[in-house]
């Protein structure tokens, strides 16, 4: 992936990635390390991240791993202290952590309240709070990119039945990107949602249409936007989508 933005030097930038221990998250971390970023890879269980990357022959000299549960306020507060005291900066945040726990055979009447709340806490509250944590740093350095990993299942323009918790959570993620995009307008902070497509991950399953590198490329397009890039939008493969 070529850097075409002359004002965006990879080597002096720090990226925080949530849900970084597998699938799209781990794929993003690998590509970002290859580009020369310092990467803070976060997950509820981050112990295998370093070894999994090294097995792929990825240099981990710029890797920092950190335990983080984005659905836990205690964990989020602990991460905030760590980020501001130890790392002291964040140029890019990729809100990738997400869950999908809906009953695949049912709809709104069969999805439990507990599963709905659990989904919203991870998929919406997590990105919201992580954005709150990094935005003061981004504003002070007058640079920031926030990428919220979304899904076509959350598009209002194509909303279907079933999977209400997951669908509604991703619609809310798109709304969050729009809201923050407007709030940060003119500050050189760009906030966007990205649908990576149906990817062959643990969540997407083996029947998915896309390989992990394709989804990663779609996400990193938004993470590496030039200063004149879009904000508050919803994209797939760098193309704007209705939602």
Average of per-residue pLDDT values in the chain = 92
> What local confidence, expressed as pLDDT, does residue 2 receive?
47
In this predicted structure, the answer to whether residue 202 has a pLDDT above a threshold of 70 is no
Q: What is the C-alpha to C-alpha distance for residues 136 and 130, in angstroms, rounded to an integer?
A: 11
Give catalytic residue positions.
Answer: 166
> What local confidence, expressed as pLDDT, does residue 43 receive?
98
> What local confidence, expressed as pLDDT, does residue 6 receive?
46
Highest mean pLDDT among 6-10, 39-43, 159-163: 39-43
Question: What whole-number percentage of the chain has pLDDT above 90?
Answer: 78
Q: What is the C-alpha to C-alpha distance for residues 43 and 38, in angstroms, rounded to an integer?
A: 16
pLDDT tens per residue, range 7-27: 456 778 999 999 999 999 999
In this predicted structure, the answer to whether residue 199 has a pLDDT above a threshold of 80 is no
CA distances from 145 to 119, 139, 193 (A): 24, 11, 11
Tokens 């836990």 locate to: 72
Q: What is the C-alpha to C-alpha distance for residues 122 and 126, in angstroms, rounded to an integer?
A: 5
pLDDT tens per residue, range 109-136: 889 999 999 999 999 999 999 999 999 9
Question: Which of residues 158 and 182 earns the better pLDDT score?
Answer: 182
> What local confidence, expressed as pLDDT, does residue 162 receive?
86
In this predicted structure, the answer to whether residue 3 has a pLDDT above a threshold of 50 is no
Question: Which of residues 5 and 43 earns the better pLDDT score?
Answer: 43
Question: Going by C-beta distance under 8 Å and a sequence separation of 6 or more, which residues neighbour residue 200?
Answer: 206, 208, 210, 211, 212
Q: What is the C-alpha to C-alpha distance for residues 230 and 77, in angstroms, rounded to an integer?
A: 30
pLDDT tens per residue, range 208-226: 678 889 999 999 999 999 9
Q: Is 62 in contact with 37 (CB distance < 8 Å)?
A: yes
CA distances from 243 to 3, 19, 28, 52, 203 (A): 29, 24, 24, 35, 22
pTM: 0.93
């Amino acid at each position: 992936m070529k850097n075409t933005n002359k004002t965006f030097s990879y080597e002096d930038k720090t990226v925080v990635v949530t849900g970084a221990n597998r699938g799209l998250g781990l794929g993003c971390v690998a590509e970002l390390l290859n580009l020369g970023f310092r990467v803070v890879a976060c997950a509820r269980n981050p112990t295998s991240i370093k070894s999994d990357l090294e097995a792929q022959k990825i240099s981990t000299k710029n890797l920092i791993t950190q335990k983080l549960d984005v659905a836990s306020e205690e964990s989020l507060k602990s991460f905030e202290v760590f980020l501001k005291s130890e790392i002291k900066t964040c140029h890019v945040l990729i809100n990738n952590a997400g869950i999908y726990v809906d009953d695949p055979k049912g709809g709104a009447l069969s999805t439990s309240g507990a599963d709905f709340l659990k989904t919203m806490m991870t998929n919406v509250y997590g990105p919201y709070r992580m954005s709150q944590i990094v935005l003061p740093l981004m504003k002070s350095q007058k640079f920031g990119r926030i990428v919220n990993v979304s899904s076509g299942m959350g598009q209002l323009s194509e909303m279907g039945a079933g999977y209400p918790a997951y669908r509604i959570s991703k619609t809310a993620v798109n709304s969050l990107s729009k809201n923050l995009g407007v709030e940060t307008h003119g500050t050189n902070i760009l906030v966007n949602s990205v649908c990576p497509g149906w990817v062959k991950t643990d969540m997407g399953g083996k029947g998915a249409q896309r390989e992990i590198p394709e989804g990663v490329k779609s996400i990193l397009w938004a993470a590496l936007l030039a200063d004149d890039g879009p904000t508050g939008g919803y994209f797939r493969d760098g193309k704007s989508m209705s939602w």
